[in-house]
């Protein structure tokens, strides 16, 4: 219990920073829609978890067919953040979302909302709404009736429902399609209606299960911006599911990377990208160079590492690994450069392949120890002359570019 309340005491600055970062107009709009949020009116308060999963396990089936969709997952999602569950298909993202929504119940562990255990509540008693991957709009109702459904079920007076529906239609820019049947609007418009419907009752938390995956690229980009805008304007906690790493990086405040029923790493997009803690995370997000290196010495969490080339560097050692004799390190292709004539290279090898991408160029270098290493260089006018395949080259990167994986 003590550790948990300590976990609650997130540095308040994070939340207040985000808040003040919201343009004033957005906040005013949100307040007229939903009333001022507690954190702002309450003055000094500790940022707490909007949603928390504690040691959640979810198993489907029995006996030999038993599938562990989630295996002892714990995660905290903060108030007002855009939180993304990122992972390949089948890793348990939808399952976690369904547990939060209440469509399924955990086999073990509990789900908390604002610190309150809601594991036993049915979906209609949870102040949480879902945007379904398939949209799941009611086909026999108009756009307006779909959007008003939640409020109507909450027993809100008709006039209030009608006003909220109009506000929502304006928010998602769909005023003119108010009376259409949901089968008579396009996929992108259905997406907006699904969003408006889920936002209308002003849930504490909005769950979005791959909401953009059915849209084409252009529409998807538009909706990404739209979603960020809606999250800013409404101040609602968004839990967003995607298998698209780029989408996750561009939209999220924080990302949880999932694989095979586990959450491997939680952090800001920058942390996840620059400081992946596991091989899976490093591989799943962006391009990576992975190398086995020798551990020379460890002190105070800093390790002296020696590459196969003999060059040495220093890097932070993950906790509990001070005994390791060798570790795997990650260097992102754009964090390394081909050495100029005067530089002392960290690694050296032979240039195998040069691929020109317009904005940048990829150099594939076969290192002397046999591993392929990619360097990505931004193309600039009047930059250094292009290197020819076959040439010998050295590779340089700073100590900061080296990230040790916890294997």
Partner 1 sequence: MAEADAQTTGHTSTGRADGRAAALPNLTRRDEVRRKWLLVAPALVVLALAASGPLLIVLVYSFLTPGNYGGVVWEFSGEAWFKVVFHRDIFDDTLGFADAHLSIFWRSVKLSFLTTVLAFIFGFPTAYFIATRPEKYRGLWLFLITIPFWTNLLIRTFAIMEVIRADGVINQILLGLGVIEQPIQMLATDFAILLGMTYVYLPLMVLPLYASMEKLDFRLVEAAYDLYATRFQALKRVIIPTVKPGIIAGSILVFVPSLGAYVTPRVLGGGKHLMLGNLIELQFGQGRNWPLGAALSITLLLIVMVALLTYIRTTGNSEGGHG
Ligand X SMILES: Nc1ncnc2c1ncn2[C@@H]1O[C@H](COP(=O)(O)OP(=O)(O)O)[C@@H](O)[C@H]1O
| Closest separation in Å from C-beta 155 to partner 1 | 9
Backbone angles phi, psi at 93, to 5 degrees: -65, -50
Q: Which stretch binds Mg ion (CB under 5 A): 87-95, 110-118, 281-289, 308-316?
A: 87-95
Q: Using the rule CB under 8 A, is 67 a contact of partner 1?
A: no
Binders of ligand X among residues 89 to 148 (CB under 6 A) are: 89-95
| Closest separation in Å from C-beta 90 to Mg ion | 8
Question: Taking a C-beta distance cutoff of 8 angstroms, is the pair 67, 59 a contact?
Answer: yes
Nearer to ligand X, 80 or 94 (CB): 94
| Closest separation in Å from C-beta 210 to Mg ion | 6
Nearer to partner 1, 50 or 257 (CB): 50
Place of tokens 């076959």: 390
Query: Which of 226, 237, 230, 15 lies closest to 128, judged by CA?
Result: 237
Residue nearest to Mg ion (CB): 94
Question: Taking a C-beta distance cutoff of 8 angstroms, is the pair 139, 181 a contact?
Answer: yes
Q: Could you give the angle at the alpha carbon of 84 between the alpha carbons of 80 and 90, nearest 5°?
A: 145
Q: Quickly list DSSP for 138-179.
A: -TTSBHHHHHHHHHHHTT--HHHHHHHHHHHHHHTT-GGGTT
Choosing among partner 1, Mg ion, ligand X, none, which partner's interface includes residue 295 (Cβ < 5 to 8 Å by kind)?
Answer: none
Question: Taking a C-beta distance cutoff of 8 angstroms, is the pair 189, 212 a contact?
Answer: no
Residue choice 56, 69, 101, 193 for contact with partner 1 (CB under 8 A)? 101
CA dihedral 76, 79, 82, 86 (to 10 degrees): 10
| Closest separation in Å from C-beta 303 to ligand X | 34
Query: Which of 233, 263, 266 lies closest to 252, judged by CA?
Result: 266
Per-residue contact flags (x/-) with partner 1 for residues 199 to 228, judged by CB under 8 A = --x---------------------------
Question: Encoding tokens for residue 351?
Answer: 């240039």
Residue choice 11, 23, 61, 127 for contact with ligand X (CB under 6 A)? 61
Nearer to partner 1, 70 or 137 (CB): 137
If one counts every other C-beta atom within 10 angstroms of the C-beta of residue 185, the result is: 17
Reduced DSSP (H G I as helix, E B as strand, rest coil) percent helix, strand, coil of the chain, to 5: 35, 30, 35
Residue choice 94, 146, 252, 289 for contact with Mg ion (CB under 5 A)? 94
Q: How many CA atoms lie within 13 A of 353 on its CB side?
A: 8
Nearer to Mg ion, 94 or 289 (CB): 94
Radius of gyration of the chain (CA): 25
Residue choice 67, 296, 355, 372 for contact with ligand X (CB under 6 A)? 67
If one counts every other C-beta atom within 10 angstroms of the C-beta of residue 259, the result is: 18
Residue choice 27, 78, 197, 406 for contact with partner 1 (CB under 8 A)? 197
Choosing among partner 1, ligand X, Mg ion, none, which partner's interface includes residue 142 (Cβ < 5 to 8 Å by kind)?
Answer: partner 1
Residues that bind ligand X (CB under 6 A): 60-61, 67, 69, 87, 89-95
Residues that bind Mg ion (CB under 5 A): 94
Residues that bind partner 1 (CB under 8 A): 101-103, 122-124, 128-130, 132, 134, 136-142, 145, 149-150, 153-154, 197-198, 201
């Amino acid at each position: 219990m003590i550790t948990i309340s300590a976990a609650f005491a997130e540095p308040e600055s994070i939340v207040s920073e985000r808040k003040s970062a919201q343009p004033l107009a957005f906040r005013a709009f949100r307040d007229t829609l939903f009333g001022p949020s507690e954190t702002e009116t309450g003055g000094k308060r500790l940022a707490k978890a909007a949603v928390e999963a504690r040691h959640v396990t979810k198993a489907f089936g029995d006996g030999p067919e038993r599938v562990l969709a989630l295996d002892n997952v714990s995660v905290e999602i903060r108030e007002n953040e855009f939180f993304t569950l990122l992972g390949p298909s089948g890793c348990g993202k939808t399952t976690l979302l369904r547990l939060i929504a209440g469509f399924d119940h955990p086999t073990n562990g509990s789900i908390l909302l604002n610190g309150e255990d809601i594991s036993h509540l049915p979906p209609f008693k949870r102040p949480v709404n879902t945007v379904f991957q398939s949209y799941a709009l009611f086909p026999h109702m108009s756009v307006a009736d779909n959007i008003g459904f939640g409020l109507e079920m909450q027993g809100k007076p008709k006039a209030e429902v009608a006003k909220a529906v109009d506000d929502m239609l304006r928010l998602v820019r769909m005023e003119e399609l108010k009376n259409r049947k949901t089968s008579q609007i396009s996929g992108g418009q259905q997406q907006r209606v699904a969003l408006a419907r889920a936002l209308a009752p002003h849930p504490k938390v909005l769950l979005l299960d791959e909401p953009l995956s059915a849209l084409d690229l252009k529409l998807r980009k538009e909706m990404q911006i739209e979603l960020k805008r809606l999250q800013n304007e409404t101040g609602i906690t968004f839990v967003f599911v995607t298998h698209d790493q780029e989408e996750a990086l561009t939209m999220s405040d924080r990302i949880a990377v999932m694989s095979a029923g586990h959450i491997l790493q939680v952090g800001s997009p920058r942390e996840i990208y620059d400081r992946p803690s596991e091989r899976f995370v490093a591989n799943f997000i962006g391009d990576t160079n992975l190398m086995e290196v020798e551990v020379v010495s460890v002190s105070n969490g800093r390790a002296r590492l020696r590459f196969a080339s003999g060059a040495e560097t220093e890097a932070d050692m993950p906790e509990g690994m001070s005994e390791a004799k060798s570790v795997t390190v990650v260097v992102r292709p754009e964090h390394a450069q081909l050495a100029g004539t005067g530089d002392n290279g960290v690694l050296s090898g032979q240039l195998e392949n040069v691929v020109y991408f317009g904005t940048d160029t990829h150099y594939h270098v076969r290192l002397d120890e046999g591993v392929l290493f990619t360097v990505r260089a931004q193309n600039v006018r009047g930059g250094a002359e292009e290197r020819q395949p076959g040439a010998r080259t050295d590779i340089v990167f700073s100590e900061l570019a080296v990230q040790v994986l916890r294997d």
